[in-house]
Amino acid sequence: MNLKNNKILLLIVVVFSAIGPIWGQAVYDLNFQGVLKNIEGQRIANESFDLSVQLKRVSGSETLFEFSSTTKTDQEGWFGFNISEISRFLNEGEPFSDPILIKMELLPNSNTTWIKQGEDFELSYSLTSQQREHSKELEMTRMEGSKLTAHSEDHLHAFRDEYPFAYLTGGFLLTDQPPLSNELISDLKQWILPAESEEEGEVSRGVKGGFPTGGYYRKK
C-alpha cells in the first residue's frame, strides 16, 4: 500500500515538474502605435481606413492569429492596436528562434480619402524570441532584415522603426505586466516621432526609469 502511494506521489511530482516551466513562462501583450503623414509631411488626422493584421510563422504559411477592423486616426494622426498574449505563439514549438511574422495591411473604405479605392499598402515585421541563459531576448526586424531600434528594461520591450514606410511611422511595446499605461504609450509615441518644436538632437523626456533619455533625432 505504501509502495503504491509512493508511486502515485512520484507520478504527481513528475507531472507538476513538467507543467511548472510552462506556467513560469512570461505572458506578453503587444501594443502597436503608428502615425500617418501625407507626402507633404502633414499628419493625416481623423481619417478612417480598414486595418487587417495577421500573425504567421516565417517558416510556414499557417495563420496563427488575425483580425480586421475599421480604424480611425486621432486628431494628431495616430492609431494603434493590441494583441493580447502574443507570447503564446512564441512559446509554441522549437526552436524558440522561429520568428513570427506580423503583417499589417491598410485598406481604403468608403470614408477614406488618403488612399484611393482599389489601392492599399502593407508592411511586415518579424518578432523573434531568443533564449539567453535564464531569460528570453526579444528582437524585431523589418522583413528585408534590418533591425528595429530597441530598448529593454524590467517587464518592458520597446521597438521603433527608424525609417518611415510610405505614409506610416510606427513602433511596438511588449510587456508581461499588462495593461500598458497611457504614460508608456505616450512615451512610445514621442520616441517614435519627437515633437516638431524640439531642436534636432534634443533628447526625449523619457519616463522614470523607462525609455532612454536619448537616442532619437528628429527627422526633417
Mean pLDDT of successive 10-residue segments in the chain (220 residues)? 46 36 65 92 94 90 92 96 89 61 93 84 86 75 89 91 84 91 92 62 35 32
Would you state the pLDDT for residue 134?
Answer: 67
| Distance separating alpha carbons of residues 178 and 23, to the nearest angstrom | 17
Distance CA 38, CA 45 (A): 10
pLDDT score, position 155: 87
pTM of the complete model beyond 0.85: no
What is the model's pLDDT at position 131? 67
Quick one: DSSP state of residue 43?
A: B
Domains and CATH numbers, the chain: 27-192 (2.60.40)
Cell 505563439 found at:
89
Q: Residue 2: what pLDDT?
A: 53
Phi, psi (degrees; rounded to nearest 5) at 22: -70, -45
Q: Which three cell numbers stand for residue 195?
A: 515633437
